[in-house]
Amino acid sequence: MSNTPSKAAASAGARAVALKNALVERELIPEGYIEKFTEIMENDFDPANGARVVARAWVDPAYRELLLRDGTAACDQFGYTGVQGEYIVALENTPTLQNVIVCTLCSCTAWPVLGLPPDWYKSFEYRARVVRESRTVLREMGLDLPPEVEIRVWDTTAETRYMVLPFRPAGTEGWTEQELASLVTKDVLIGIARPEVPVNGSRADQA
């Protein structure tokens, strides 16, 4: 029996439509529910949100303290709340400590601040290997950390949703929050990358 990816995808799509129709027929979901949720998933759950949180923490010590003490409250100050953001815990990197997030069970991430998980994050390979050979996996993903940097891998639990708080890179003195936020990507928030200042030193909004 052939089962090419395209056929599998079409089959999954057909099943989704059939499931939706069955739920609508039985009045188990309100009118517009799926459309509204899809819109939130596509537009509101964005790693740019987490980047704004990080940038604020870099420039405001009181906010940084709150973020590390009560990540949910800190994210709520921006309105970044909701599904998969009920209990956010920020993990602070230092020059000698790199935190990395995984969900070994499935794919849990803090949607409101990180966005939806990338495909590699959901892969069996990442979930299995980042735990037992994190340094090698990070190197393969482009983050070659020197031996003195400790790597700490955090496995998402049923409730906890992590975000990595990277340390502010050198050479960003005087940058605005918006400029700082431009350095923070989804990969940085997951912990498989570190913020990098462009080699020419130019700020994002001056490019």
CB of 86 to Fe ion, least distance (A): 14
Range 145-204, binding Fe ion (CB under 5 A): none
CB atoms within 10 A of CB 39: 11
* Residue 97: strand pairing partners: 94, 150
Side chain identity at residue 163, one-letter code: M
103 labelled catalytic: yes
**What is the rounded distance in angstroms from the CA atom of residue 75 to the CA atom of residue 36?**
22
- Alpha carbon 10 to its chain's center: 28
Q: Would you call 75 a catalytic residue per the annotation?
A: no
Tokens of 79: 């309105």
Q: Which residue is nearest to Fe ion (CB)?
A: 108
For residue 137, the minimal CB distance to Fe ion (Å) is 18
* Nearest-approach distance from CB 158 to Fe ion, in angstroms: 9
Task: Show the site string, 86-115: x = touches Fe ion by CB under 5 A, - = not.
Answer: -----------------x-xxxx-------
Residues 6 or more apart whose Cβ sits within 8 Å of residue 14: none
**Would you tell me which residues interact with Fe ion (CB under 5 A)?**
103, 105-108
Give catalytic residues, as residue numbers: 103, 106-108
